[in-house]
Structure 1
Amino acid sequence: MNVSDSVEYPALYLKRGEDARLRAGHLWVFSNEVDVTRSPLSGFEPGEICAIVDHRDKPLGIGYVNPNSLIAARLVARGLEHALDRSLIVHRLKVALALRERLYAEPYYRLVFGESDGLPGLTLDRFGDVLVGQTTTAGMERLKDEITEAIVKVLKPRQLWWKNDAGSRAMEQLPSYSDLGHGEYGGEVVAREGGLTFGVDPVGGQKTGWFYDQRENRDRLARLVEGKRVLDMFSYLGAWGLRAAAFGASEVTCVDASAAAVEAIARNAERNGLSDRVTAIRADAFDHLKALREARERYDVVILDPPAFVKRKKDFKEGSLAYRRLNELGMQVLAKDGLLVTCSCSHHMPRAALLDAVQQGARHLDRQVQMLVALQQGPDHPVHPAIPETDYLKGFICRVLPA
């Protein structure tokens, strides 16, 4: 099909040879791959829909442009048969919904995971009859009304919140804001996981309010924590810690630097009848681990689920050192034959590098580590095989022994 067959959208031309990655399945076009002689980036508005075309005038598909971003364009639909409009978004939502309804008995999950669900720049989390979304690109921001209409058509939610305060929006020169995109104010928003209920703040909470990506990993605590003393660092709303308590842990300590998070943990523990076994402490993780080490406190299971320490490639050296320090401190408060659950949500921190950080920390302490289980994001965050950036969450459950 020649580009002349498409009259609806302006063409964004690629340089010779720059179509190979897109043909292999990736969806991104970098600014240095654009033939700016034929299609100057300055000629496009941020978020404008375009036809992405190779140097031989063969169209690859429909996408959108942001001339102000390093990722200058993203491919949304291959070929020129389908317009980038509400109908296409409705179709993609239905396909995404079919997977989640196959996976989960209740409507609590990540409904749309950006590129992996064919909607690059869009994230949607579902909390029963409430949706919380993020648009992280100019293209999706420009389509927000169509996205809202599609969500209402497919899911008929009580509320749709837009939590558009992600740091990645700054790279697209987009403003930071949160607002109610559909429905009326009022009513509680909750996440359900493992038979427990957690109060969620769709505006003031982290990300979209909950971290569904760790759900299946938290399920693994069932065989590990009964009768055990558990320490949950970077607790946020207490998901790891409260799940451990529900699985029969004798004592759980949740630690987070946020006062609001600590208060929420206490409320969630009371809500689920676990207050007698769960304690929430406000503290810096590194400082608290050092204090526990000095006090000779010991836990049977230590859970380390920190925010990303390596947000950019250039942060790798410093960030990998932080992961090593954190894991070393975690091992120092483990009882003999204890279990360390360690995670990283840094895309730029490879799995092998995280395991190496654990091993380096163990050798410095003259400990031996057995890696029992490798962890990854749940299936409602599917990995796109051609897009390594979608495979971001990694972790390990390790047994730590004296040398």
Structure 2
Amino acid sequence: MAHGEIFLKKNEDKRLRQGHLWVFSNEIDTTRSPLEQFAAGELVQVKASDGKVMGTAYINPQSLICARLLSRKGNLKCGVNFFKERLTTALVLREKLFDKPYYRLVYGESDGLPGLVIDRFGSVLSVQITTAGIELRKDSLITALHELFSPTAIVLKNDNGQRQLEGLDLESHVVHGELPDPLVIEENGAKFKIDILGGQKTGWFYDHRASRMLLATMATNQRVLDLFSYTGAWGIPAALGGATEVVCVDASEGALALAAENATLNGVENKMQFIRSDVFDYLKQARQDGQLYDIIVLDPPALIKRKKDFKQGYEAYRRLNQLALQVLAKNGVLISASCSYHLSAENLHEILRSSGRHIDRHLTFFACGGQGGDHPIDPAIPETAYLKTFFCTVSISL
């Protein structure tokens, strides 16, 4: 079956030529290719205004990112074999990096599968489909996953705002097998129970793995504060690494309950405290009480979801970092992270510089971290790089 065609306006093919995979609705010449003739998720051939074929994409006429390129070839067949090929390529990288099957197996555009994220939890796969183009082909995808991985369970994790933008349902469900209870994964020698259906995103955040490992090596005899602790992914390795005390603070009761179970699972429950609180309130109170911590981990959820929230989000990051520095012991370490794509590394760098000056401390960076190798960055797609982490040591002013 021949694909329909969309023509780009003059000079709108530059981003694609440089390697990006997205076509925005305002870049399409709608006189030559009226969008209403296409169904959401349908495959189309993308052509430059001079008729040169740019590749095969799937389209969603209702969406701002109107088409996403799957291939530079103009006649792609997108069935089981296509998925098997892309999944196999993705797997080769993960197997180079990790000796156990706990990692992000597919990271969207970077793995040539826009609209798809898959996390591998041993024999369980948590699949997040965010576009109509992948949703329409999920049977082929699931067949490919069966043939390559023989998973004991596959979960479609659909409770995601991006699906809403694409007009897709938000109901998460197990489409194959059944979830083990408990489902336990391993990261950096620590074990974690995870809740795929009730948890955020795919149920676990693998992206900070390398930074957590660095924290664990520094934690001996330290008093550690883990802010926005979620289920203990930072705090537990710190306790295993020899911290004397780890305080986990989060607003979610469910996350903290799981964190407490994880502490017991790793035999560190006697070193850990779990406090349900708003992080801003907790830090203000800790400052009033004269509490000091040797290491503070500040890893908030994305505080800037959209470009228009930038000012408000920037201010929240600034206040958090400033408050954290005020409860940091002399020669302490602040690990400050941001997963907001719209807050650049330069922005976070500047927040830390000005916060250090504001409270008259000498702050230096001794390490920088980012997303792990199972979240590879496509150099042509800036949106694939989102995570930044600064390891700061803070002493009295010079």
Q: How does 1:40-189 map to 2 (within 5 A)?
A: 40-189=34-183
Mapped partners of 1:223, 1:193: distance in 2: 14
1:228 aligned partner: 222
The answer (yes or no) to whether the contact 1:383–1:391 under 8 Å persists in 2 is yes
Deviation at 1:316, TM superposition (A): 1.2
Unaligned residue ranges in structure 1 (runs of 5+): 1-6
Residue among 300, 309, 332 paired with 1:306: 300
Within 2, Cα distance between the matches of 1:401 and 1:177? 49
Paired-residue identity, %: 50
| 8 A contact 2:3–2:75 mirrored in 1 | no
What is the rounded CA distance, in whole Å, between the counterparts of 2:79 and 2:56 in structure 1?
Answer: 11
- Cα 1:271–1:223 change in 2 (3 A) is closer
Query: SS at the partner of 1:300?
Result: strand
User: Given that residues 56 and 70 in structure 2 are in contact (C-alpha distance below 8 angstroms), is that contact kept between their aligned partners in structure 1?
Assistant: yes
Distance 2:53 2:284 in 1: 58
Asked if the contact 1:310–1:348 (Cα under 8 Å) also holds between the matched residues in 2, the reply is yes
The CA distance in 2 between the partners of 1:357 and 1:171, in whole Å, is: 32
2:46 and 2:183 map into 1 onto residues whose CA distance is 40
Looking at structure 1, the residues matched to 56 and 396 of structure 2 have their Cα atoms a distance apart, in angstroms, of 58
Deviations 1:94-130 (A, max 9, x none): 0001110110010000000000000000000000000
- The offset of 1:186, in angstroms, is 4.6
Distance 1:127 1:195 in 2: 15
Partner Cα separation in structure 1 for residue 75 and residue 46 of structure 2: 13
**3-state DSSP class of the match of 1:56?**
coil
Secondary structure of 2:269 counterpart: coil
TM-score (norm 2): 0.98
Distance 2:65 2:171 in 1: 22
Aligned-partner Cα distance in 2 for 1:223–1:372: 14
Superimposed CA distance per residue, residues 204-246 of structure 1 (whole angstroms, 9 cap, x where no aligned partner): 0011011000001101113321110000000111010001011
Deviation at 1:183, TM superposition (A): 1.5
Residue 80 of structure 1: CA displacement? 2.6
Which residue among 204, 209, 212 is the counterpart of 1:215?
A: 209
Whether contact under 8 Å (1:133, 1:161) holds in the other structure is yes
Q: Deviations over 1:314-335 (max 9, x none)?
A: 1111111111100011111110
The structural deviation recorded for 1:81 is: 4.8
Unaligned runs of 5+ in 2: none
Structure 2 distance, partners of 1:186, 1:321, is 42
Give the match for residue 387 of structure 2. 393
Whole-angstrom distance in 2 between the partners of 1:329 and 1:338: 14
Residue type of the alignment partner of 1:381: H
Matched, 1:242 2:236: yes
* Residues 192 and 198 in structure 1, CA contact (< 8 A), matched pair in contact too: yes
TM alignment of 1:289-368, pairs within 5 A: 289-368=283-362
Aligned residues: CA RMSD: 1.1
* Number of aligned positions between the proteins: 397
Q: Is the 8 A contact 1:13 1:52 kept in 2?
A: yes
Partner of 1:23: 17
TM-score when scaled to structure 1?
A: 0.97
CA shift, 1:173, in A, is: 2.4
1:4 is matched with: none
After TM superposition, where is structure 1 displaced by more than 4 Å over at least 4 residues in a row? none
Kept after mapping to 2: 8 A contact 1:321/1:357: no
8 Å CA contact retained: 1:148, 1:182: no
* Aligned-partner SS, 1:239: coil
Partner of 1:266: 260
- Verify the 8 A CA contact 1:77 1:84 in the aligned structure 2: no
